[in-house]
Structure 1
């Protein structure tokens, strides 16, 4: 991304932001252990590590959410003590979080200039200027929508671009991006990378947190690797082989993770087994059009397609959480009542939703309470919860999924994203499901946690569960699925099996799907 001359500026200029020997402790854990980190003008600096490595804590220390227990933060060479995020923002440090942190009911323009609205001479908000400035600014981010509309009328990806526009327009000298492409479509990703190039040219420094290696090597100049709260490497990224980067992040070989706890089995002949789950001609609103999909016991079926293709709607329809105009869902040959979530659960269908914040974890409850939530009826006797049964279930799944927590009583909101995802998996596995619907189960989690989740999916399928896997990462589907159903614009564009499951074939189905009438 940078030219040789630009690289000289990056490597020789004084740091705009420094972390010097910072330690941050929480009850039962050391989140950051003597961490040092520096960021220079115009640099795009990758911050990587497994979930729980300390990335989020470091960002929160840099932006005034937390204060370090030891060490100091220096901004433009001078020690600073940000007490609140607004202090960091006023100093020129803006953060774009993975979950869009704006006001959905306010207009798009108001969100861009929230807290710094242009004023008339009378001190009133100058709405004409605010809307005109927002309209002009957002053109550079590929957003042509009416800026007077409420923010929630935009898709998640477009909202993320609004958040980015807001952060950059605050005259920031440092921009922190936490998984910025996780909700973006390919066109929006290209726009983001164009923005990064502009920031670089303007001398604005970027901390870039992502688990997508292709992105990191495309846009980042340097990298800092955290593991267990410590810095294990910091330096230029381009010369570093990917396998070395992954090994440093994990502290072990990548293939070791996929092999842990895995017993070799012969090839399953799924085609000879009757489907446990069958959906026929699902149609609903403008989202689904005659979608049919089936999953057999012990089979992993991938659901591929671009954002907006109907993948999540299909999964939600299978559990009765998406309104259908037509179609049938059958479990073991028996039809489910349309729109009845309780009936789907009784039939053994469990859905791990895409948005773990909105549809999954209950942040103020403990890890234990979150795990047992869905299984409480089976853990109760005469209406009283059996604590001993609860504890056994919680220990079983915390051990099996290697959930990192100080104790089962720790608040789930204090865990890393990957461990929160494992808690959700544990919740549904505790119900003893027959069919598991996984919507982006590895979204926003690091390479190590991702490999562990993938290994667990393989293991569950071998135990006889029927698994429907939705993922935006083609590699995940190519590696883990026995069959891949491709959706395009709410319709089935194709189905691939065996050696036909290749990246080229999936992309061809997405690009040409629907043109042949299938």
Structure 2
């Protein structure tokens, strides 16, 4: 096994925080190295050092046995090291092809950008990814999963010798993941070294050849992927068995709080297609209602319609027996409906604001006295939320970008809770967070439900769908195809139902009620 890239005794210190502690890390040519660890374990910091985005405090990086330290991401790319970032780094106001060739344009003999060549290359790489995206389409108009495909395509076009993938599948559908895995195997067969980071542990283990685990900035375990199981990975990451990650819950379900009747929602990107088709449901006080569906099932559009972000084409939404009509987000928040969006970076956080400012943003009206904001009351409320949702931060004044993905997600949830909602809508709340943060988030949700909060959360992860909700709805192509109490459906039946859209027999649905 040939190590093409090595980190030797790498340490990284930020102020008083040791993000990495003397880490040795090898990346072998023609193999996939899966890097596991909780948020804050040091995975992204290590990858940024390898990719030239950060420099180590001590230690060194070796490429082909030679000591080197890329001075920038461009320098690393010139050395054959490319990275796909966890948080998308695309320019939404530019087209797909402009994003793929930004700062590395194809130029003709006159020096002008050869847009025809760029368009042809974009079409070819998208065909390779089995995603027919128009090269001239604005990135802002793409759904999140398609944007992630564009990020992957950009890395593929660089013909890297070492390809670092940091959460490349967090917004991809199962078929898209299968295509990516096929490409990864093609790349490794050609001698490319791949580093694969994912919070989908079973997925990463499936594609990996080698396994490395970080915890608290230190390397704690290495193994061949064929020799380990998920329980081994989780125990080294967080010291807990996977079965202990889902909270035990004896729900106390109250009266109906939210009722949807015959809801019809058009696809915002294609008004001729229905994202939600004649959907009816009832949510009760203190209930955790799960909605399972693959990409395109309508799960996001459903929550956005309830939150007032999308106006339904038909149907009614009632809160506490009163119709909500066509009111928008501000009115829905005032009435007690709060949404935690799927894309926390674009829709949930303001990157230029601090942790505390992000938390208080949606509930700021609570602290206004006359023409001024009562800062003492605001600070006290923010401090309590930080404590309640267990955000790991140096304080409310810390930059939101200094937090790990899991802690950023907790900030978005805290912002929603500060509005004192009756109904909390969570769209893929565990996307891009590790198993420990995921356990924290669902323990928080269960605690809030015990206090009477009504919760709807969407997920595309079968384990979450099977273990978390008191009641589970399955969506396929905008339609409700199944309804179950916890323990009434298997993983295999869940996957089959959501993929094929086959309706559950009426008697089964009646039993589920």
Q: Taking structure 2 as the reference length, what is the TM-score of the superposition?
A: 0.91
SS at 1:291 equivalent: strand
Aligned twin of 1:281: 262
Aligned residue in 1 for 2:230: 242
- Aligned mate of 2:485, from 492, 497, 514: 497
> 1:141: Cα distance to partner?
1.3
Give the counterpart of 2:27 among 19, 34, 39: 39
Task: Indicate conservation of the 8 Å contact 1:282/1:292, yes or no.
Answer: yes
CA distance 1:52–1:481, change in 2 (3 Å)? same
Between 422-431 and 294-303, the greater mean CA deviation after superposition = 422-431
2:338 is the alignment partner of 1:350 = yes
Instruction: Report the equivalent of 1:122.
Output: 110
Contact 1:47 1:223 in 2 (8 A): yes
- How far the C-alpha of 1:391 sits from its partner, in A, is 3.4
Describe the shift of the 1:230–1:265 C-alpha distance in structure 2 as closer, same or farther (beyond 3 A). Answer: closer
CA distance in 1 between counterparts of 2:260 and 2:457 reads 15
Per the TM alignment, residue 266 of structure 1 is displaced from its structure 2 partner at its CA by 4.6
Q: What pairs with 1:280-429 in structure 2 (closer than 5 Å)?
A: 280-285=261-266, 286=273, 287-429=275-417
Give the alignment of 1:96-111 within 5 angstroms: 96-111=84-99
- In the alignment, the residues of structure 2 paired with residue 153 and residue 229 of structure 1 have an alpha-carbon distance, to the nearest angstrom, of 38
CA shift for structure 1 position 117: 3.6
Consecutive unaligned residues in structure 1, runs of 5 or more: 1-10
Contact 2:96 2:137 survives alignment (8 Å): yes
Q: Map residues 29-108 of structure 1 onto 2, 5 A cutoff.
A: 29-108=17-96
Contact 1:494 1:513 in 2 (8 A): no
CA contact (8 A) 1:258 1:452 kept: no
Q: CA separation in 1, counterparts of 2:341 and 2:134?
A: 31
Distance 1:123 1:374 in 2: 49
Name whichever of 137-146 and 362-371 sits farther off: 137-146
SS where residue 321 of structure 1 aligns? coil
Question: How far apart are 1:163 and its partner, in Å?
Answer: 2.5
C-alpha deviation, 1:91, in angstroms? 0.9
Matched residue SS, 1:276: strand
Change (3 A) 1:257 1:390: farther
Seen in structure 2, the aligned counterparts of structure 1 residues 256 and 307 have a Cα distance that, compared at 3 Å, is: closer
CA contact (8 A) 1:22 1:33 kept: yes
Residue in 2 that maps onto 1:469: 457
Deviation at 1:157, TM superposition (A): 2.6
Question: 1:202: which partner in 2?
Answer: 190
Q: Deviations over 1:251-307 (max 9, x none)?
A: 344556656xxxx87553x4xx43101111222323222222221011111111111
Distance 1:511 1:32 in 2: 42
TM-score, normalising length from structure 1?
0.90
Deviation at 1:16, TM superposition (A): 1.4
CA–CA distance in 2 between the matches of 1:30 and 1:392?
29
Cα RMSD (Å): 2.3
SS of residue paired to 1:122: coil
1:32-82 C-alpha deviation (Å, 9 max, x unpaired): 122221111112111111111111111111112211111112222222232
Structure 1 residues 254, 396: closer, same or farther in 2, change over 3 A?
farther
Instruction: Report Cα offsets for 1:328-358 as digits up to 9, x if no partner.
Output: 1111101113132222112211111111001
Query: For the Cα contact (< 8 Å) 2:144–2:343, is it kept in 1?
Result: no
Secondary structure of the corresponding residue to residue 19 of structure 1: strand
Supply the distance in 2 between the matched residues of 1:516 and 1:31 (Cα, whole angstroms).
49
- CA displacement at 1:516 relative to structure 2: 9.2
**Equivalents in 1 of 2:175, 2:58: separation in Å?**
43
State the partner residue of 1:7. none
| Cα deviation 1:382-428 (Å, max 9, x = unaligned) | 44433433333233222232211122221111100000011111112
Distance 2:500 2:130 in 1: 25
Determine the C-alpha separation between the residues in 1 that align with 2:133 and 2:332.
Answer: 39
